[in-house]
Structure 1
Amino acid sequence: MRNCPRITDIRMETTGVGKQKLEEEDCLIVNSQVKFLYLAQNSWLDDKSVTMLASVCPNLEKMDLSYCGMVSKGAMEVLWRCCKIQHLDLAYLGYRLCQFQFKVNFEVPTLFVLNLSSSRISNEELSLISKSCYNLKELKLEYCDKITVSGVKLVVKYCKQLRMISLYSCENVSSDVIAWMVLTRPSLKKITYASGAVVGKRDLLLSHGCFAHWDWLGSKLI
């Protein structure tokens, strides 16, 4: 970032980023050209390092922190410091931490795509996200077993541009909410859910231009 001022895309998945801690003077570097930063599966990366990277790259549009098990509230710093962020992948966020922190209590109008699959997110965090990231178009909540129908309804209510939501293997979200989502949010065009119960709602969904994907023992139905 210091020596390549025109670089826009950096991919360093599974490379040990974070093992060597960043120094405070590294924060003095600012590279406004970096738009895409992919750091998935870096188990040494922590909140402090992510915060410093967000300071260095204030114009980030897409960041991948999936499978970074030591990161939680650092992801909020990305949302706070990178005012142009549009796509954030946080799947398996903070899976190595005892305490999970991802409470977004400020507006992030630029964020369109958010992946929180397997992130231990609860209805409380989902409520804050729905009101702060109200321009979301795609939201993945796969394997989020702490969220319920009430949390999903908040997302559908406040995210008026929502086009896709994945609730695959969300054990505490009943498939009964699917019809309500389609009728409430006309922009919704794709729902992913792990239950054959979707089949009975197929005609309703199709009549509203929405496709429901479900997976049962590896077979998919659209």
Structure 2
Amino acid sequence: MAPAKLEGCDRPKEEGARVCINDALTDDELRAVLRQLEKEEERDLFGLVCKRWLRLQSTERRRLRARAGPAMLRRMADRFPGLVELDLSQSASRSFYPGVTDSDLGVIAAGFRNLRVLDLQNCKGVTDVGMTTLGNGLLSLQSLDVSQCKKVTDKGLVAVASGCSYLKRLHVTGSKSITDELLKSLSKSCPCLEDLGLAGCNNITDTGLSTLADGCRHIKSLDVSKCTKISDVGVSRVAEVAPSSLKVLKMLDCFRVGDKSIFSLAHFCHNLETVVIGGCRDVSDESIKSLSLVCCHSLRSFRMDWCLNITDSSLKCVLSNCRHLVALDIGCCDKITDSAFHSLDMGGFESQLKVLKMSNCLKITISGVGSILQFCKYLEYLDLRSCPHITRLGCQQAGLQFPECCRTNFDGSLGESEGMVDFFF
């Protein structure tokens, strides 16, 4: 007798030859099969087999990216009761009207009680009213991104911090109305906070940063780029209270930050992986050397463009000691010369650098590029824009051989952004 065949169907089982898979497997067994499908497309195909499989797939769904609308959100809440991640973010350049509103946030707070991750980037229609609703309703929330939400202020985010005590990640990039009051609330109510993005929140001061550090002692990632009131006082306090946890620190264009901050990081924080000090013009060689020596095994990405006091000696120290460095930006450091790169290949190891930005480095020549290519065999992006002694033709005439997968940028505006480069910094 031929073995029975299993079918996924909604039809009743035929006598004899065939057995419907829906009769053979329980809901729990089908869920076990679904959990083995790692790709989202495969999980979606699972739901197309029949109504029963669609229902099971819906109850198991954990992540969803969607557009707004109260009616749609209510249907999603009914269909996806196990949802933990909801992405309603909009593109900065392309958005739809009216976008996410406070009414939508009310539906989310009432319908997605288990939500842990909510992304509202560029949702310019939400206000403090909606934030207060989230703070009262989503008690399990762990991650919230309201970057570029211009109508959100301290008042709404303090309500989020007070109600969502499990919060681990909060990004409020570009929210100029945010002040130290939010940092005080986070310090008091969110001891588990690990990732805080404050870039462009230029009303934040050292007082708020110090208060934050006192209560949130497990910070792993902190971005205070363009927070122009931040100085060595606040940065040093963060370094002191989060010595082992801090891995990412971004201080782009914080012109009040100087050597004292870098020495504090070198003294306390030996696990730093990403450091951004571009535009911190008072940082000098000695503090950079100190940091590169203590973080030699951890540092992966280092941005120090427009650090005008940096010279060959500190750059050579970084390149010689930080053997796991993947991305480096020394753009506009006009004291750097070819000497920083000569003899680096004599160090006995191969550089892991994938991204090297040195636009507008006035003293680097084709000879320096040749030394870089000998030392950096795995380059994927090399930025040589506005280097007056380096041209595409000159490199060709010198017989320089760039790695096959390396994109070399000789031309274009210095304001242009590269997606791959942004990933590292």
- Which residue is 2:300 aligned to? 163
Whose relative contact order is higher, 1 or 2, with alpha carbons under 8 Å and at least 6 apart? 1
More helix by share: 2
- Secondary structure of the corresponding residue to residue 201 of structure 2: coil
Separation of aligned partners in 1, 2:218 and 2:231: 28
- C-alpha contact 1:182 1:208 (8 A) present in aligned 2: no
Q: CA deviation at 1:99?
A: 7.2
In the alignment, structure 1 residue 216 sits paired with structure 2 residue 359: yes
Q: Which runs of 5+ in 2 are unaligned?
A: 1-134, 361-381, 385-405, 407-425
- Which residue is 1:176 aligned to? 313
Separation of aligned partners in 2, 1:106 and 1:11: 27
CA RMSD of aligned residues (A): 3.2
- Which residue is 2:183 aligned to? 50
2:245 to 107, 110, 121: 110
In the alignment, structure 1 residue 125 sits paired with structure 2 residue 261: yes
Which of structures 1 and 2 has the bigger CA Rg?
2
Q: CA deviation at 1:122?
A: 0.8
Q: Which deviates the most, 130-139 or 194-203? A: 194-203
In the alignment, structure 1 residue 63 sits paired with structure 2 residue 206: no
- C-alpha contact 2:147 2:171 (8 A) present in aligned 1: yes
- Which letter does structure 2 place at the counterpart of 1:60? L
Q: CA deviation at 1:200?
A: 6.7
- Secondary structure of the corresponding residue to residue 216 of structure 1: coil
Q: CA deviation at 1:30?
A: 5.3
1:141 to 272, 277, 287: 277
- C-alpha contact 1:72 1:100 (8 A) present in aligned 2: no
Separation of aligned partners in 2, 1:100 and 1:186: 28
1:37 to 170, 177, 183: 170
- Secondary structure of the corresponding residue to residue 135 of structure 1: coil
Q: CA deviation at 1:208?
A: 3.3
Q: Which deviates the most, 57-66 or 45-54? A: 45-54
In the alignment, structure 1 residue 87 sits paired with structure 2 residue 227: no
Q: CA deviation at 1:145?
A: 0.5
- Which residue is 2:115 aligned to? none
- C-alpha contact 1:30 1:58 (8 A) present in aligned 2: no
- Which residue is 2:103 aligned to? none
Separation of aligned partners in 2, 1:28 and 1:182: 41
- Secondary structure of the corresponding residue to residue 128 of structure 1: helix
- C-alpha contact 1:191 1:210 (8 A) present in aligned 2: no
Seen in structure 2, the aligned counterparts of structure 1 residues 63 and 44 have a Cα distance that, compared at 3 Å, is: same
- C-alpha contact 2:205 2:230 (8 A) present in aligned 1: no
Seen in structure 2, the aligned counterparts of structure 1 residues 167 and 80 have a Cα distance that, compared at 3 Å, is: same
- Secondary structure of the corresponding residue to residue 37 of structure 1: strand
